[in-house]
Amino acid sequence: MDQPCSYEELRACLHDIARVNRLTFAHRPTLSWLREVVAARPAGAAPLRVVDVGCGYGDTLRMVDAWAAKQGVTVELTGIDLNEDAIRAAREATPATQRIEWVVGDALSQDGMGDADVIMCTLLTHHLDDAQVVRFVRWMEETAQCGWFINDLHRQAVPYHLFRLLARFTRWHRFVKHDGPVSIRRSFVAEEWKSFCASAGVGSGAVSIREYRPARLCVCRTK
């Protein structure tokens, strides 16, 4: 959300963004990549340290936690967000049975972010300008031991018009209805991601850039 708003409004917006993620099957690519990372690790490896940057309401990590518990995979989960109200909302939405650390932090300063095996983000990078995206990718490349995964919107006509159509028939918060198309216009296409990765020192052979319909473009790096 780019507008200043109360805690209650921010929480309502983040909650609705989580619904958009579910409705558009946006978590599938992230989870499917995580499955591959886990499968490639040796049996009995230390807990997989997963960091979600720009975690918002925290639904991605709660989903990862539920998946890991079902699969018997040991994980240490940390959600980071610039906005302390987002961190409060994520914490309040997390049942006591889910052990997830929620931390206020900036994707661009990385203060106190520590080590990670996996760094992921959902709907974060379109909030950054080009130079900031490059800095963020470079930091993930240097920090994540097993790899990183960017899940964001795809600047294409279909997601843009689909979102506007869906927004007409749903009761999503008015900020979400307004920001959705703006976010799609701010998001990137594959050629831009190739250039960002190259500028960050990650060669084109090392990353996979893939469209996931209806609305996502994901950039993935497995080490």
Is 65 one of the binding residues for ligand SAM (CB under 6 A)?
Answer: no
Contact positions with ligand SAM (CB under 6 A) in 175-214: none
Q: Which of 15, 88, 127, 138 binds ligand SAM (CB under 6 A)?
A: 127
| Helix segments in 130-173, DSSP class H | 130-143, 157-169
Query: CB–CB of 183/26 below 8 Å?
Result: no
Question: In the complex, what is the shortest distance from the CB of residue 132 to ligand SAM, in angstroms, rounded to a whole number?
Answer: 7
Question: In the complex, what is the shortest distance from the CB of residue 56 to ligand SAM, in angstroms, rounded to a whole number?
Answer: 2
Q: What angle do CA 102, 148, 101 make, to 5 degrees?
A: 10
Select 42 or 217, whichever has its Cβ closest to ligand SAM.
217
What gap in Å lies between CA 142 and CA 186, rounded to an integer?
Answer: 26
Contact positions with ligand SAM (CB under 6 A) in 40-59: 53-57, 59
Question: In the complex, what is the shortest distance from the CB of residue 166 to ligand SAM, in angstroms, rounded to a whole number?
Answer: 16
Contact positions with ligand SAM (CB under 6 A) in 72-111: 81-83, 86, 106-108
The Cα-based distances of 142 to 51, 82, 191 in angstroms read 14, 21, 22
Query: Residue 150 burial by CB count (10 A; 0-12/13-18/19+): exposed, middle or buried?
Result: buried
- Helix or strand (DSSP H, E) at 181: helix 174-186
Select 19 or 206, whichever has its Cβ closest to ligand SAM.
19
Question: In the complex, what is the shortest distance from the CB of residue 131 to ligand SAM, in angstroms, rounded to a whole number?
Answer: 13
Query: CB–CB of 47/206 below 8 Å?
Result: no
| Binding residues for ligand SAM (CB under 6 A) | 17-18, 21, 53-57, 59-60, 81-83, 86, 106-108, 122-124, 127
